[in-house]
Each structure stands twice: as structure tokens, then as C-alpha cells.
Amino acid sequence: MAKATATANANIALVKYWGKRDDALILPQNSSISMSCDGLSTTTTAEFSEKYRSDTIVINDEELKKDEKNILGHIERIRKLAGIQEKAKVVSESNFPVAAGLASSASGLAALTVAAAEAAGLSLHEKELGILARQGSGSASRSICEGFVEWHKGVMPDGSDSFAESIVRKNYWPEFRMIATIVSTEKKKTGSRAGMKQTVETCPFYGGWLRTVEDDLNIIRKGIRSRDFALVGSTAEANCLKMHALMMTTKPAILYWIPETVEVMHAVMAMREQGIEAYFTIDGGPQVKVMCLQKDEREITKRLLRLKGVQKTILCKPGDGAKLVNKHLF
């Protein structure tokens, strides 16, 4: 048996994933596009060994008691795939606040997938890693890949064509920036898994989402390939607002925004009115991520930090996919 360490970046979606067509396999209703974020990373070490009596998971120095993300299920999935019995110890560290809408489950499950698969003796390619990571956490499939990434929704019932793939690698558009603002480090109340299920079942606007998301995907894909920042930024911002509109019209309503979220949104819109190219996006939490180009990153960061509600900012560039850091043989 072996012990392996892997690292993965969080990813921020430009076209969001919200709603599954298969809950067990985590197959999405729509494809999504994201940027793997150099700056928001998780490093995970996984070890399978006869010396362990049970699976242990330590996240940011705390032993996991309540397995909300079903990490144990993911370890079991990998164990089955490898045909082994040994219990695991997993130690994971993120360099950013967990469960507050900064895609910690994406980077965490992606790093876990790569480390545990390797430690279990599996030898998997990127596509297979993406399919495996997807079953742990949908958006984790995107964190497997580099740069700007599309997670293809696929059409097969077994999920074999629902995987992530780089649209362009990280050096294709190195000037693109995502500034994550930290407005709250509290854990969110509604997890995205329960939330998206309620949306698909109760939201009167979900059909309108599905009807328009293909257009958003086509525009963003084209915008990334042609490095058209205004096109990518404005389309991503509108797509984010569409997703939050779905959330707040779900029964019961899901409102991830807090006052500080809205403060940053207005600040970004005000910057645009003043000629500074900045767009926002928000995921299942209160944090606002601001998209801009390198030339404006200092000015925008300065302005964001002046806001009452912004505690800190984290600057992200297009980053790597999940990577094996090292592997120890015993």
C-alpha cells in the first residue's frame, strides 16, 4: 500500500452548475464552464493501510465528525474500484475558508480523488479522474483540469460521458484575474446539494434556465477562445444572477447573499460605470468573486478593500489542474 499527496485548485464557474439529472451519479442538468484558480488550493494526503481500524479524515487540523460532503462514501468508492479493503487516513489542508462559497468541496474532492486513487494503486487518466471526482462532488470534476474548463453534462445514463476537459490551458489567457473577496467566513446554512434538488423540483424558472444556458456556454466558450473579456465577464455575471434568481425562487427560498455581498455587487457595478472593466460572480455562499484583467487588478483590489464588508481579497489566476505531489511506497 502507498501514501500519496495531491494538490488541486478550487474552480470558479463562469457558467454555473445548478441541478442534477441523476442524484446518485451526480450527473448535471447542464454543462458548465469554470476557471481553475491558482490561489485557492487544497493539498490532500491519502493513505490506505492495515494499521487503521477505521477511516479517518482530518480537514484543516480538525477531525471530521459529521460527514456532510460524504467524503467517506468517496473513499469507499475508490476502495471498491481498486479492489482493496484497507482503511484510510486522509489529511487535507485548504489555504482559504472552507464551506463559505469558495468551492472548497471542488478542490478538496479533486485532490482527494487524485491522492486516494494513487494511494489505492489505481492508474487513471484525466478523463477517468474527472468522472471519479464528479461522483464525490459535481464541481470537483472541473478542478481536475487546467486553465478554463468545461464540464460536459453528457447524455449517457451511466455518466461515462459526463467529464471535464480544458477549453484552453492556463497560459492561453494569463491576464485573466479572479479576485475573491472574503466577506464572511461563517459556514453556509443550505448546502448546495440539498438546494439544487429543491430548485429542480420547485422553481418555476428552472425551465428558462435550461433553455438559455446553452447560449451562455457558447458565448463564454467563444469569449475565452478569443480572449474577449467584456463578453466573458458580462455573460458570466448575468449567468450568476440567473442562478441566484433560481435559488431565491426555490421553495423554500435560498438566499446566499448577505448585506456585504450586495455591497460588493454594487461596488463592481459602480466601477463599470466609471470605466473600470470588472464583473462579479457568486456561488453558493456570500463571497463575491470579481473578474478583471491584470492591468486593473491593483486598482480594483484597492477599491474592494475600502469597502466596509470586505475582510480580505485573494487574487487568482488561471491555474493548474489537480496534480500528484508525491507518492511514498512502504
Q: Which residues contact a second copy by CB under 8 A?
A: 204-205, 207-209, 211-212, 237-238, 241-242, 244-246, 248-249, 251, 253, 255, 257-263, 265-266, 269, 309
What's the DSSP call for residue 285?
Answer: S
Residue closer to a second copy (CB basis): 156 or 230: 230
Q: Cα separation of 279 and 269, whole Å?
A: 7
Residue closer to a second copy (CB basis): 140 or 182: 182
Residue closer to a second copy (CB basis): 86 or 263: 263
Residue closer to a second copy (CB basis): 192 or 261: 261
Q: Residue 185 has which C-alpha cell?
A: 467566513
Nearest approach in angstroms of CB 257 to a second copy is 6
Nearest approach in angstroms of CB 309 to a second copy is 7
Residue closer to a second copy (CB basis): 148 or 279: 279
Residue closer to a second copy (CB basis): 147 or 284: 284
Q: Cα separation of 60 and 311, whole Å?
A: 20
Confirm if 35 and 179 have CB atoms less than 8 A apart.
Answer: no
Q: Cα separation of 201 and 249, whole Å?
A: 11
Nearest approach in angstroms of CB 270 to a second copy is 11
How far is residue 129 from each of residues 7, 51, 125, 220, 317, measured CA to CA in Å? 13, 27, 6, 25, 23
Q: Cα separation of 105 and 193, whole Å?
A: 11
Task: Note the residue count of the chain.
Answer: 330
Nearest approach in angstroms of CB 126 to a second copy is 34
Q: Residue 281 has which C-alpha cell?
A: 460572480
CB atoms within 10 A of CB 214: 12
Q: Cα separation of 44 and 94, whole Å?
A: 9
Nearest approach in angstroms of CB 259 to a second copy is 3
Q: Residue 99 has which C-alpha cell?
A: 464551506
Q: What is the CA radius of gyration of the chain?
A: 19
Residue closer to a second copy (CB basis): 60 or 185: 185
Nearest approach in angstroms of CB 245 to a second copy is 3
Nearest approach in angstroms of CB 283 to a second copy is 16
Confirm if 324 and 8 have CB atoms less than 8 A apart.
Answer: no
Nearest approach in angstroms of CB 310 to a second copy is 12
Strand-pairing partners, residue 46, are 4, 90
Residue closer to a second copy (CB basis): 194 or 269: 269
Q: How far out from the chain centre does Cα 269 lie?
A: 24
What sign does the dihedral 135-110-241-310 (CA atoms) show? positive
